[in-house]
Chain A
Amino acid sequence: MAEPVPADAIQENMLSGDKIDVRDLDFYYGDFKALEGVTVGIKRNAITAFIGPSGCGKSTFLRSLNRMNDLIDGTRVEGTVLLDGKDIYAEDVDVVDLRRRVGMIFQQANPFPLSIYENIAYGPRIHGLRNKAELDTIVEDSLTKANLWKEVKDKLGQPGTDLSGGQQQRLCIARVLAVNPEVLLMDEPCSAIDPTSTQKIEDLMDKLKDNFTIVIVTHNMQQAARVSDYTAFFLAEDTNLPAKLIEYDMTDIVFTNPTDKRTENYITGRFG
């Protein structure tokens, strides 16, 4: 288990505008160390992009921010992840509440085999909301926030799985918004959808960042450059070596004037 976090570190975190503060994180799949020494501050109300070649641990790192990796047997975390100054790996943390606060959008849109309405109402229901009028309001609100309401308002009873790929992904975003999260983790949300739908999701992200802290993992460097305010570049020098955070800065700087040679090589397309 992680060592106690010093009080001044918490203080510092609350003052610096970092929503999530990761210190010296190591991640293991069994005996294999997949990530080593990641220290990063994720800014509040901004979009942070994680980039890097396949297998560089960026998705693993993303999933360690809401403990989705707990679902995989044999994984282990060392180091500290502070959300609003509180260690999410501490013993007394309610993982269920953590995952509500830190929502996740997956690579493959995964609407439940339920109606559009029930997909959105799912989250509030599991958290105990029964009132039909309140559920109606949440469903409309969430779909509106996800720029999907106009397209589906007349067919809320139809299966969510009947929507197009891009609409399904926005439905999944709306489903997460319905539980009132603070952070949105997006794991390559556009890799399985067409350019027009991608554009819609990027517009949506831009709108959402006023109220949420967004982290996006992407393979697409143009996308990172377009949407994000901050960019973190991950790299494993070799497939059996742990991945590390190579560079982290404002997106403009990472893409125009990177400090590390490896970052420059990656963003100019010399590898990956």
Chain B
Amino acid sequence: MRSRIMDKIAMGILWANGFLTIAILAMIIGYVVVKGLPAMSLGFIFTSPHGIEQSGGIFPTIVASLYVTILTVIFTTPIAVGAAVYLSEYVKQGRLVTIIRFGADTLSGVPSIVLGLFGLALFVYILGFGWSMLSGALTLTLMALPILMRTTEDALKAVPNAWRQGSMGLGATKWQTIRRVILPAALPRILTCVVLAVGRVFGETAVLMFTVGMAINLPFFPNEPGRAMTTHLYLLATEGISMKTAYGTALLLMAIILLFNLSARKIFNKTQR
């Protein structure tokens, strides 16, 4: 009898914990939606800011955010996947690998504002790329690389060993096995990891303020500066320019990130079967 009561209590507590998590999420989303929806319109998405930015749309900032994000993915994915393949398939598991993994984990724990400062020093000043899409993307690559490398490594580890052995047993070389069996099998998971990393990069703020700049500018070439959505949101709110536009930007930012995450799920489910 006692154990049944305990069971009920435990279930109640666990349920409350789960509910609290969902409730917090719902509260944040609900608040931003309610506050941001009045600002929302096609004009808000597709036009540039007017005057001292309290009116008009936020189009250039959306473009800048997407620009930097796409550039980051192009830089990060091949390096991260290559490193992950090396770590999980080629190298003998031992001290060196442990050090590399530890390094990657530490790098992904570096506060983004510190990374931003580093990017400002290295890319913007020393290498002379200035405030630009390129500087932003390179700095974000430093941030995304360890995350994507570790998640891709897990994706490769999830490929059954039996397939490796089956392939090698047929006289395939290591590279043939990787290219024809392991990578295709791990691709859904890797794509999911990439899209989730995109979500992280897209929502990044500190790094972009330091390296992309704050100029309202429709970027075309990678050496041009711009203002990311997150930076725009920060400025609108802290400079007291327009809270309405700030919430509108926040809502759109969240919607885009949600879209990334949903599509990650979709890719995964579609290819996983």
Judged by a CB distance under 8 angstroms, whether B240 is at the interface is: no
Q: Which of B165, B180, B181 contacts A71 (CB 8 A)?
A: B165
Q: How far is it, in angstroms, between the C-alpha of A228 and the C-alpha of B176 when the chains are bound?
A: 35
Contacts of A112 in B (CB 8 A): 163, 166-167, 181, 185
- The one of A71, A108, A113 that contacts B168, using a Cβ cutoff of 8 Å: A71
**B170, closest chain A residue (CB):** A123
Which residues of A lie under 8 Å from residue B162 when comparing CB positions? 106, 108, 110
Q: How far is the CA of A126 from the CA of B185 in the complex (A)?
A: 17
Sorting the interface of chain A by its residue count into under 10, 10 to 19, 20 to 34 or 35 or more gives: 20 to 34
Q: Is B169 an interface residue (CB 8 A)?
A: yes
Neighbouring B residues of A126 by C-beta, 8 Å: 167, 170-173, 176, 180
Q: Please indicate the chain B residues that have their CB under 8 angstroms from the CB of A104 in the complex.
A: 165, 169
- The answer on a CB contact under 8 Å between B168 and A122 is no
Complex partner residue of B166 from A73, A97, A110, CB under 8 angstroms:
A110
Is B93 in contact with A73, judged by CB distance below 8 angstroms? yes
- Return chain A residues, CB-CB under 8 Å to B18: none
Question: Is residue B270 contacting chain A, with contact meaning CB distance below 8 A?
Answer: no
Q: Nearest chain B CB to A106's CB is how many angstroms away?
A: 6
Is there a chain A Cβ closer than 8 Å to B160's Cβ?
Answer: yes
Which A150-191 residues have C-beta < 8 A from chain B? Answer: 172, 175-176, 179
B93 nearest CB neighbor, chain A only: A73
Question: Which residues 138-162 of B have a CB within 8 angstroms of A?
Answer: 160, 162
Residues of B within 8 A of A97 (CB): 171
Residues of chain B contacted by A127 (CB below 8 angstroms): 171
Q: Inside 8 A of A125's CB, which chain B residues have their CB? A: 180
Q: Which residues in window 88-139 of A have CB below 8 A to B?
A: 96-100, 103-104, 106, 108, 110-113, 122-123, 125-127
List the B side residues contacting A123 at CB < 8 Å.
Answer: 170-172
User: Is A68 at the interface (CB under 8 A from chain B)?
Assistant: yes
Q: Is B4 an interface residue (CB 8 A)?
A: no
Q: Are B165 and A122 in contact (CB under 8 A)?
A: no
Shortest Cβ distance from B184 into A: residue: A113
Q: What B residues does A48 contact at CB under 8 A?
A: none
Residue pair B160, A110 in contact (C-beta under 8 Å): yes
A-contact 0/1 string along B86-116, CB 8 Å cutoff: 0000001100000000000000000000000
Number of contacts between A and B (CB, 8 Å)? 66
The 8 Å CB contact of A99, one of B169, B180, B184, is B169
Q: Chain A: which residue is nearest B162 at the CB level?
A: A110
- When the two chains form their complex, are residues B168 and A68 in contact, meaning their CB atoms are under 8 A apart? yes
Assess the B176–A103 pair: CB atoms within 8 A.
no
Q: A73-B92, A122-B180, A126-B180 are in contact. Are A100 and B165 (CB under 8 A)?
A: no
Closest beta carbon of chain B to A266's beta carbon, Å: 29
Interfacial chain B residues near A66, Cβ < 8 Å: 169
Residue-by-residue, is B183-200 near A (CB-CB < 8 Å gives 1, otherwise 0)?
011000000000000000
CA distance in complex: A265, B272 (Å)? 50
Cβ–Cβ contact A122 & B167, under 8 A: yes
State in angstroms the CA–CA spacing of A110 and B162 once bound together. 6
Q: Which of B160, B166, B180 has the most CB of A within 10 A?
A: B166
Asked if B170 and A110 sit within 8 Å, CB to CB, the answer is no
Closest to A179 in B: B170
Across-interface contacts of A103 in B (CB, < 8 A): 169-170
Q: How far is the CB of B273 from chain A (nearest CB, A)?
A: 9
A217-259 contacts to B, CB under 8 A, are none
CA–CA, A98 and B169, complex, Å: 9
Smallest beta-carbon distance A84→chain B, Å = 17
Closest partner residue, chain A, to B179 (CB atom): A126
Tell me whether B168 and A100 are in contact (CB under 8 A). no
Contacts of B164 in A (CB 8 A): 71
Chain B, Cβ-Cβ closest to A74: B92
Chain B residues near A96 (CB-CB < 8 A): 171-173
Residue from the list A71, A113, A176 in contact with B170, Cβ < 8 A: A176
- Chain B nearest CB from A63 CB (Å) reads 9
Q: Pick the residue among A73, A98, A106 that contacts B165 (CB under 8 A).
A: A106
Q: How far is the CA of A106 from the CA of B92 in the complex (A)?
A: 24
Q: Is A175 within 8 A of B165, CB to CB? A: no
* Chain A positions within 8 Å of B92 at CB level: 73
User: In the complex, which residue of chain A has the Cβ closest to the Cβ of B164?
Assistant: A71
Contacts of B173 in A (CB 8 A): 96, 126
Structural contact, B165 and A99, CB atoms closer than 8 A: no
Nearest CB in chain B: distance from A43 CB, A: 22
**Shortest Cβ gap from A85 to chain B (Å):** 21
| The 6 A-B residue pairs with the shortest CB-CB distance in the complex, in nearest-first order | A100-B171, A110-B162, A104-B169, A99-B171, A123-B170, A110-B166
Interface residues of A (CB under 8 A from B): 66, 68, 71, 73, 96-100, 103-104, 106, 108, 110-113, 122-123, 125-127, 172, 175-176, 179
- Other than the known A100-B171, A122-B172, what 12 A-B pairs have Cβ atoms closer than 8 Å? A96-B173, A97-B171, A104-B169, A106-B165, A110-B162, A111-B166, A122-B170, A122-B180, A123-B171, A126-B180, A175-B170, A176-B170
